[in-house]
Structure 1
Amino acid sequence: MRTTAPIITPQQKSSGILLPVFSLPSPHGIGDIGQTACDFIDFLHRSGQQNWQILPLGPTEPAFANSPYMSPSAFAGNPLLISIDGLLKQGLLSEGELQYQDFSPYQVDYQRAAEYKTELLSIAWQKFTANNPNGTLENFSRKQPWVADYALFQALKERYNHAPWTSWPEEICQFRKTALARARLELANEIAYFTFEQFLFYSQWEKLHRYARKKKIHIIGDLPIYVAGDSADVWANQELFQLDPETCLPTRVAGVPPDYFSATGQLWGNPIYRWKDTENGVEEALLNWWEARLRHNLALTDAVRIDHFRGFESYWSVPAEESTAINGRWVKGPGLPFFTEMTRRLGPMNIIAEDLGIITPEVNELREALGYPGMKILLFAFDGSPQNTYLPHNLESNCVIYTGTHDNDTSVGWLLSPKVTAADKERAKRYANHPDSHAGTFHRDMIHLAYSSVANLAIIPMQDILGFGNDCRTNTPGTVAGNWQWRCAARFITPALADWLQELTAFFARTPGKFQELEQP
């Protein structure tokens, strides 16, 4: 494992932009990891940024409204993010095979994009099998050992009409070796195809990551603490999760308890890990799985934001039969010993702790003991309390300040929202010393406050850079329709915008000084 220099240091303040890959411009229906991603890196470089924060890169499923936080794999890349233009350059597609469609530049239509790209990937697969040596995919599989179970999982998903794996035939559901060996033979071609998709994704991602490094841009990834129940990870590692051994269904699931925002809490439904269970070597196996997961993600990106970090200190455990999160209980997580062991195995890790929500002193103590920066959300700061921990004057330098996240209102949307009190809006304007602020200028006031804070790193969602409203927000928690679809059209990413942002970034001394070199793996 490489040793990494920290991307957040007291010696060099910096800034960056939050923009999911799927939100990038592209003529193929969804953002991808090809030329338009390189173009965005060029924009970041010109605008004085040093960081690009993204959302999880895993495959998404229509059954989970295409949420990147409910992926069928914690390791695989989303084939919808494969660059079609990159396949043209590789000779795996020709221009005449593309049949460009009239995709919206403002929203992802996942169904149409999937149909279009699946057809093109099938053509690319045929050309690949005709012209590439047999050892190419085998070499890739040796470097990425997780792909064997993932590709088999996807092939079986097709065989069983995309039903959850818990409904598959018993010998397959329970991951029995004889049945799996037979399935691998019967589905060899399908397994090879799904391996090919991952080979393409990771080949293109490595090129993109190298380009980012060349332009001195750090990529900050996103790692959800939990994995989806209907995933290759749970299916292939059932002993690591709290499952019924006969039905393979979860016995307890994840969520968060009732709070001010929800009288019934949030029932996420992810299976919970069997932390501190030494029976049959489960604890060691779980540590090995997490080591592989962290190693994989830290090789993909230069830093990782761990979503729901507080679950490592204590997590909300709900009986699986419950319909709400009310009747859950707090259970101690693996805590400091877990991270001590991971650091022993992997070396220093560039981790940002998502510490939002119900945060106890014990969670803060864990984060501080590890030295990980937490998150501060500016739009949470204006409730009237001078002690509000999100107010810039209450921050410590070892944190990441955001105007908002992918789950929040945009700054303009917050200002216009009838759910936000007039008093909170006035406090925000007063704090920015701009009482005449309005929807056309408020987002820039918030960026000004974030940049001028003592936080070592400031990350601004692209919607706030552009001053867009809530019709452009990425996700609204507790809802299904309309999420994970917003795209940033190319016409908005202009040299004039980059120059404005570069001037502001330089004014607050957040432009690159000595780039924090990160050793290659």
Structure 2
Amino acid sequence: MTSNPPRTAGILLHPTCLPGPHGVGDLGAGARRFVEWLGEAGVALWQILPLVPPGPGESPYGTTSALAGNPWLVSLADLVDDGLLAASDLEGPPAFPLDWVDPAAMKAYKGPLLDKAADALLDGANGELAAAFAGFREEQPWVDDTALFLAIRAAHGERPWWEWPEGLRDRAKAALTKAKKDLGREIDRAAALQFLFDHQWRALRRLCEKHGVIIVGDLPIYVDRDSADVWANRDQFRLHPDGSPIAVAGVPPDFFSETGQLWGNPLYDWERMARDGHGWWVQRLQRARELTDVVRLDHFRGFSAFWEVPAGASDARGGKWVDGPGTALFADLSAALGHVPLIAEDLGVIDDGVIALREALGLPGMRILQFAFGEEADHPFLPHNYVAHCVCYTGTHDNDTTLGWWQSTSDRVRDHVRRYLATSGQDIVWDLIRAAFASVASMAVVPLQDVLRLDGRTRMNTPGTVENNWRWRVRIQAFNSPLAHRVRELVALYGRLPAADGDHLQARSATGDDPGPRDCPARRHRLFQCLGLQPAVHQQRRPLRPAERGPDHLWPGLEPVVAVQPRWQLSGRRGGPARNHPRGSAPCLRKAPEHHR
């Protein structure tokens, strides 16, 4: 008989929301305090949004590089500790708002300091870091293309690559050689900033390991047309010779939108990708696995079938369904990378084909409590209809906070919630948190705004809008012990507290007392085993050579993963020494709206 997966609890918080003195959340002291607080609260999962450089409106779902890290997350204070900035450089910072990000002010202050630190690294101010940077650049093949793209783009007034001179647009050898010569320092600086992000992120991950915290990342299915990914790999996308798209991505009209959603991302040439074993996707998922422990696949339904809209259309109504890569993609990913734990973001118009693909791959789907109420008893997001192999959320980054939702929803929905949860609604936020933790879902994740009972003013994103999203920040005072103990009590009550000695993660000692945090690395390793995670969480993974591959199989793969210890990994000053760890037909989930981009 197959045992149920372990029960865990998680908090959803993007690093930009963390506290800090320099205008935006970073990977420094505020992040370390949050990780410690998660360990104190017994929370095993930290879910984040994409770590990429943000696009228009500061969205992490639009970026100039799907493989790069967000340099605005680099901690200036930690750069002082590394000898790349002087303490005097940080004296007298502007009076940044504490509760939200002012992107223009933050970038005006932080940008020159990041450039100064990058120049110090390039000039050898820290010999150990300089050597590590050289190894990082050699072993991460995407870095130079991304740095070159960013430098050329800046030199051309941030214009998109298809508006560059033809030689640069089409990556002519002579034009690229000249650009590398003319923009050498700018290219090196962009690469150095990527290393500094990577260096600080890995140190934070080592602290996560110490406190038993697993990071759940986010991988959007599509990339932006104006990105290094498309510019450097045009043959992987359905583009005309001049770089214009043949067709673009979107979703069809539905209950929520009469005209559908026109995202505008270029579509993949899946037939071309299949001919080289989906190598572009192997590199992309490998990078995601280097940065996180579990990967959420955004718009999973696009791997089954995607909505193709002719280029130049004014809305998505003229699109059509086209078959996606299906299991063939995941077989190639599994053969190359071994088992990578995935979560399927299966929201939107979901049909039998999507469900069949998710089940064939053995992936957990998502259930959103805010979408569950006001309908019939058989709604799949009501907790009594869950299976264990799923992830329950009170809401996601695209939802209002639970308090904001409660204040704005209909009387019919509120009445259903009161009757279903047997509550007066006086503490509705924690009522829903309790419902999520009590459910049979193996993973229950709650946005930090809900834990803090915050209203809609702290909402992370309002789909379909551009202004005032991705701005909220938390104050460090929120990471206090009384709140951690309240969360821990609920986590333990519903069997979601990690422990080293059992698949069901029981939390109470023989006396009935909560034993508190203990043996966190061992607990984390045990949880990794239960979730099917490889124990090597800080390794670069190279694809298996043909002789190392076994027979074809569906995801998850059971073949060994060949791990290569990255030469740029350093002993962590704060995190301790680096370790070597090992289409169907009718829609069925119409009440879960697709993400807007």
TM-score interval for Structure 1 and Structure 2 normalised by the shorter chain: over 0.9
Q: Tell me what 1:299 maps to.
A: 290
State the SS of the aligned residue for 2:322: strand
Q: Tell me what 1:519 maps to.
A: 535
Question: Which segment drifts farther, 399-408 or 132-141?
Answer: 132-141
Q: Tell me what 1:47 maps to.
A: 41
Confirm whether residue 74 of structure 1 aligns to residue 74 of structure 2.
Answer: no
Q: Distance in 2 between matches of 1:284 and 1:32?
A: 40
State the SS of the aligned residue for 1:52: strand
Deviations, residues 230-287 of structure 1 (Å, cap 9, x unaligned): 0000000001111111x2111111111111111111111110000124xxxx533471
| Displacement of 1:383 | 2.3
Confirm whether residue 195 of structure 1 aligns to residue 186 of structure 2.
Answer: no
Q: Tell me what 2:397 maps to.
A: 406
State the SS of the aligned residue for 2:135: helix
Q: How does 1:355-434 map to 2 (within 5 A)?
A: 355-417=346-408, 420-434=409-423
Confirm whether residue 239 of structure 1 aligns to residue 235 of structure 2.
Answer: yes
State the SS of the aligned residue for 2:422: coil
Q: Counterpart amino acid of 1:250? A: P
State the SS of the aligned residue for 2:271: coil
Whether the 8 Å CA contact 1:12–1:513 is kept in 2: the answer is no
Q: Distance in 1 between matches of 2:430 and 2:219?
A: 29
Deviations, residues 359-418 of structure 1 (Å, cap 9, x unaligned): 00110110011111000001111122111000000000000000000001111111111x
Q: Tell me what 2:431 maps to.
A: 445
Q: Distance in 1 between matches of 2:469 and 2:5?
A: 38
Whether the 8 Å CA contact 2:219–2:295 is kept in 1: the answer is yes
Confirm whether residue 117 of structure 1 aligns to residue 91 of structure 2.
Answer: no
| Displacement of 1:341 | 1.6
| Displacement of 1:130 | 4.5
Whether the 8 Å CA contact 1:54–1:222 is kept in 2: the answer is yes
Q: Tell me what 2:30 maps to.
A: 36
Q: Distance in 1 between matches of 2:211 and 2:125?
A: 34
Q: Distance in 2 between matches of 1:421 and 1:385?
A: 16
| Displacement of 1:141 | 1.0
Whether the 8 Å CA contact 1:241–1:271 is kept in 2: the answer is yes
Q: How does 1:62-461 map to 2 (within 5 A)?
A: 64-98=56-90, 99-128=92-121, 129-132=123-126, 136-245=132-241, 247-277=242-272, 282-285=273-276, 287-417=278-408, 420-434=409-423, 436-438=424-426, 441-461=427-447
Whether the 8 Å CA contact 2:250–2:307 is kept in 1: the answer is yes
Q: Distance in 1 between matches of 2:258 and 2:276?
A: 37
Q: Distance in 1 between matches of 2:161 and 2:24?
A: 28
Q: Distance in 1 between matches of 2:244 and 2:33?
A: 45
Q: Counterpart amino acid of 1:50? A: A
Confirm whether residue 497 of structure 1 aligns to residue 483 of structure 2.
Answer: yes
Whether the 8 Å CA contact 1:240–1:286 is kept in 2: the answer is no
Moved runs in structure 1, 4+ residues, more than 6 A? none
Whether the 8 Å CA contact 1:240–1:285 is kept in 2: the answer is no
Q: Distance in 2 between matches of 1:386 and 1:108?
A: 41
Q: Distance in 1 between matches of 2:452 and 2:141?
A: 41
Q: Distance in 2 between matches of 1:388 and 1:119?
A: 52
How many pairs does the alignment contain? 501
Whether the 8 Å CA contact 1:50–1:512 is kept in 2: the answer is yes
| Displacement of 1:175 | 1.4
Q: Tell me what 2:463 maps to.
A: 477
State the SS of the aligned residue for 1:131: coil
Deviations, residues 113-171 of structure 1 (Å, cap 9, x unaligned): 11111111122133321424575543221111100100000100111000011100011
Q: Counterpart amino acid of 1:206? A: R
State the SS of the aligned residue for 2:278: helix
| Displacement of 1:12 | 2.0
Q: Counterpart amino acid of 1:103? A: F
Q: Distance in 1 between matches of 2:50 and 2:33?
A: 20
Question: Which segment drifts farther, 342-351 or 306-315?
Answer: 342-351
% same residue: 44
Whether the 8 Å CA contact 2:84–2:126 is kept in 1: the answer is no
CA pair 286-273 structure 1, distance change in 2 beyond 3 A? farther
| Displacement of 1:191 | 0.5
CA pair 125-299 structure 1, distance change in 2 beyond 3 A? closer
CA pair 91-131 structure 1, distance change in 2 beyond 3 A? closer
What 5-or-longer segments of structure 2 have no aligned partner? 501-522, 529-533, 540-597
Q: Distance in 1 between matches of 2:328 and 2:277?
A: 13
State the SS of the aligned residue for 2:88: helix
Q: Distance in 2 between matches of 1:384 and 1:322?
A: 35
Q: Counterpart amino acid of 1:85? A: A
Whether the 8 Å CA contact 1:75–1:146 is kept in 2: the answer is yes
Q: Distance in 2 between matches of 1:266 and 1:47?
A: 39
Q: Distance in 1 between matches of 2:47 and 2:157?
A: 35
Q: Distance in 2 between matches of 1:73 and 1:11?
A: 35
| Displacement of 1:505 | 0.7
What 5-or-longer segments of structure 1 have no aligned partner? 1-8
Confirm whether residue 56 of structure 1 aligns to residue 50 of structure 2.
Answer: yes
Q: Distance in 2 between matches of 1:104 and 1:10?
A: 45
CA pair 140-89 structure 1, distance change in 2 beyond 3 A? same
Q: Tell me what 1:5 maps to.
A: none
Q: Counterpart amino acid of 1:519? A: P
**TM-score, with length taken from structure 2:** 0.82
Taking only aligned residues, the RMSD between alpha carbons, in angstroms, comes to 1.3
